[in-house]
């Protein structure tokens, strides 16, 4: 194969890759509401997947409705898509949906979105869910609270960890990041649950980084 032929072959492959990327980029623009309402959960999931990284504010009401989808994978994909759209697009509608008192399965997904896109404005939206009767909803609410990285929330998080509810413990340690949360993570290392221990170990470096950043900020103010 000559140099020119190799160049042509390389260019052909590169163009093919770009065509695939371009198709993925514009695929979300072609999604219609009826595709998201397909009777097949796999079709609904695929339609949602096509919206990743492609904000469609006009479809927000449809996606928020799908947070109540009977299929767990579809609900999880709603969270992934809305998180990929970013806080400016997703957060206000999600907080509004929580204020409408959705069903537990939907509330869990919406709270998970708040946990993955932390913002101090979440506090009022998530507090009513911290005492919900559904354990998974409570866990998602505590995960969102821990993700705010505020020392002022540590007493409430410590109390939830001490109560021994495994879902809440795992959720809190997933996002625990307040600068003074080190002792909570250290105590969790002695848990009998391997997932709790793993997440406590992962929380340690995250907390340490925030503690060091807080110390630097204090020194800068002196």
144 part of a folded domain: no
Q: Do 20 and 122 fall into the same domain? A: yes
Q: Do 98 and 156 fall into the same domain? A: no
Domain enclosing residue 179, as ranges = 149-222
Q: Do 106 and 182 fall into the same domain? A: no
Burial class (CB in 10 A: 0-12, 13-18, 19+), 190: exposed
113 part of a folded domain: yes
Residue-by-residue pLDDT tens, the chain, 222 positions: 555 455 556 655 655 554 445 344 444 446 778 899 999 999 999 999 999 988 999 999 999 999 999 999 999 999 999 999 999 999 999 999 999 999 999 999 999 999 999 999 999 999 999 999 999 999 999 999 999 999 999 999 999 999 999 999 999 999 999 999 999 999 999 999 999 999 999 999 999 999 999 989 888 876
Digit-coded pLDDT (tens) for 12-48: 565 555 444 534 444 444 677 889 999 999 999 999 9
**What was the pLDDT predicted at 221?**
79
Nearest-10 Cα torsion for 60, 63, 68, 72: -150
35 part of a folded domain: yes
Q: Do 118 and 160 fall into the same domain? A: no
Q: Do 50 and 95 fall into the same domain? A: yes
136 part of a folded domain: no
Digit-coded pLDDT (tens) for 184-208: 999 999 999 999 999 999 999 999 9
Q: Do 189 and 90 fall into the same domain? A: no
Nearest-10 Cα torsion for 159, 215, 114, 111: -10
134 part of a folded domain: no
137 part of a folded domain: no
Q: Do 155 and 123 fall into the same domain? A: no
Q: Do 117 and 164 fall into the same domain? A: no
**Angle ∠(117,143,75) on CA atoms, nearest 5:** 70
Of 128, 160, 191, the residue at which a domain comes to its end is 128
Of 128, 157, 188, the residue at which a domain comes to its end is 128
Q: State the Cα–Cα distance between residues 214 and 198, nearest whole angstrom.
A: 25
Q: State the Cα–Cα distance between residues 111 and 95, nearest whole angstrom.
A: 9
pTM recorded for the entire structure: 0.84
Cβ count within 10 A of residue 124: 11
> For the chain, how many structural domains are there in total?
2
Q: Do 28 and 97 fall into the same domain? A: yes
Q: State the Cα–Cα distance between residues 60 and 53, nearest whole angstrom.
A: 14
Q: Do 85 and 161 fall into the same domain? A: no
Q: Do 112 and 201 fall into the same domain? A: no
97 part of a folded domain: yes
Cβ count within 10 A of residue 74: 21
**What was the pLDDT predicted at 12?**
56
């Amino acid at each position: 194969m000559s140099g020119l032929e190799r160049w042509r072959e390389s260019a052909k492959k590169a163009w093919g890759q770009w065509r695939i990327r371009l198709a993925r980029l514009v695929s979300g623009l072609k999604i219609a509401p009826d595709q998201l309402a397909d009777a097949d959960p796999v079709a609904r999931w695929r339609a949602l997947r096509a919206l990743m990284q492609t904000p469609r504010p006009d479809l927000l009401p449809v996606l928020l409705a799908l947070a109540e989808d009977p299929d767990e994978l579809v609900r999880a994909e709603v969270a992934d898509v809305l998180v990929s759209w970013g806080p400016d697009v997703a957060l206000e509608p999600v907080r509004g949906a929580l204020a409408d008192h959705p069903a537990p399965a939907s509330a869990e997904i919406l709270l998970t979105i708040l946990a993955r896109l932390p913002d101090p404005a979440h506090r009022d939206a998530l507090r009513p869910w911290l005492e919900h009767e559904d354990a998974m909803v409570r866990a998602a609410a505590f995960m969102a609270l821990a993700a705010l990285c505020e020392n002022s929330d540590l007493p409430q998080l410590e109390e939830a960890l001490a109560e021994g509810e495994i879902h809440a413990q795992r959720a809190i340690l997933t996002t625990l990041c307040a600068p003074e949360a080190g002792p909570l993570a250290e105590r969790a290392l002695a848990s009998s649950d391997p997932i709790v221990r793993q997440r406590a170990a992962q929380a340690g470096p995250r907390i340490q980084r925030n503690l060091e950043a807080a110390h630097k900020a204090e020194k800068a103010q002196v």
